Amino acid sequence: MLLSEQEAKAICQKLLDYVKADDATVSVESENYQHVRFAANNFTTSGRRENVEASVTLWLKDKKGAAQTNEMDDASLEAAVRQAEQLARLSPVDREYLPTLGPQPYKPTQGYIESTANISATERAKAIDAVIAACEKENVTGAGFHQARGVVAAHASKNGNFSYGRASLVSLSLTARTQQGDGSGYFLRNHFDVAKLDTGRIAREAIGKALRSREARTLDAGTYTVVLEPQAVADLLGFIGFVFDARLADEGRSPFSTPGGKTKIGEKIVDERLSVYSDPWHPELPGSQVAQGGIPAQKLYLVRNGVLETLVYSRFWAKQKQEEPTPGPVNIVVEGSQPPASVEEMVRSTERGLLVSHFWYLRPVDIRTMAITGLTRDGVWYVEKGKIQYPVRNFRFNQSLLEMLAGGNVELIGAPERVSASESQGSASALLPALKVKQFHFTSQSEAV
50 binds other proteins (CB under 8 A): yes
Counts of helices then strands in the chain (DSSP H, E): 10, 23
43 binds other proteins (CB under 8 A): yes
Q: Residue 38 or 244: which CB sits closer to other proteins?
A: 38
Indicate which single residue of 79, 98, 211, 347 sits in contact with other proteins (rule: CB under 8 A). Answer: 79
One character per residue 300-339, x = contact with other proteins (rule: CB under 8 A): ----------------------------------------
CB of residue 311 to other proteins, shortest distance in Å: 16
8 binds other proteins (CB under 8 A): no
1 binds other proteins (CB under 8 A): no
Q: Residue 90 or 385: which CB sits closer to other proteins?
A: 90
**What three-state secondary structure class fits 444?**
strand
Long-range interactions of 321-327: CB distance < 8 A, separation 24+: 321/246, 321/250, 323/246, 325/292, 325/293, 325/295, 326/246, 326/291, 326/292, 326/300, 327/291, 327/295, 327/296, 327/297, 327/298, 327/300
204 binds other proteins (CB under 8 A): no
Binding range to other proteins, per CB under 8 A, among 84-92, 159-167, 195-203, 380-388: 84-92
CA geometry: angle 246, 248, 254, nearest 5 deg: 105
Q: Residue 232 or 362: which CB sits closer to other proteins?
A: 362
Q: Judging by beta carbons within 10 Å of its beta carbon (0-12, 13-18, 19+), is residue 132 exposed, middle or buried?
A: buried
49 binds other proteins (CB under 8 A): yes
425 binds other proteins (CB under 8 A): yes
Binding range to other proteins, per CB under 8 A, among 7-15, 106-114, 140-148, 226-234: 140-148
**How far apart, in Å, do the first and last CA atoms of the chain sit?**
42
Q: Give the residue among 304, 360, 335, 327 at the shortest CA–CA distance from 410.
A: 335
Q: Residue 288 or 422: which CB sits closer to other proteins?
A: 422
For residue 70, give the amino acid letter. N
446 binds other proteins (CB under 8 A): yes
One character per residue 390-409, x = contact with other proteins (rule: CB under 8 A): ----x-x-x-x--x------
Q: Give the residue among 421, 424, 330, 426 at the shortest CA–CA distance from 111.
A: 330
70 binds other proteins (CB under 8 A): yes
Any bridge partners for residue 228, and if so which? 356, 435
CA geometry: angle 335, 270, 327, nearest 5 deg: 60
Query: How far does Cα 306 stand from its chain's mean position?
Result: 21
For residue 424, the 8-state DSSP code is G
Q: Residue 110 or 443: which CB sits closer to other proteins?
A: 443
385 binds other proteins (CB under 8 A): no
Strands 274-278, 140-157: pairing kind: unpaired
Indicate which single residue of 47, 105, 339, 408 sits in contact with other proteins (rule: CB under 8 A). Answer: 47
Question: Cα(143)–Cα(256) distance, rounded to whole angstroms?
Answer: 40
Indicate which single residue of 5, 22, 62, 94 sits in contact with other proteins (rule: CB under 8 A). Answer: 94
CB of residue 108 to other proteins, shortest distance in Å: 27
Q: Residue 72 or 347: which CB sits closer to other proteins?
A: 72
Write out the binding residues for other proteins, residues 233-272 only, by CB under 8 A: 251-253, 257-261
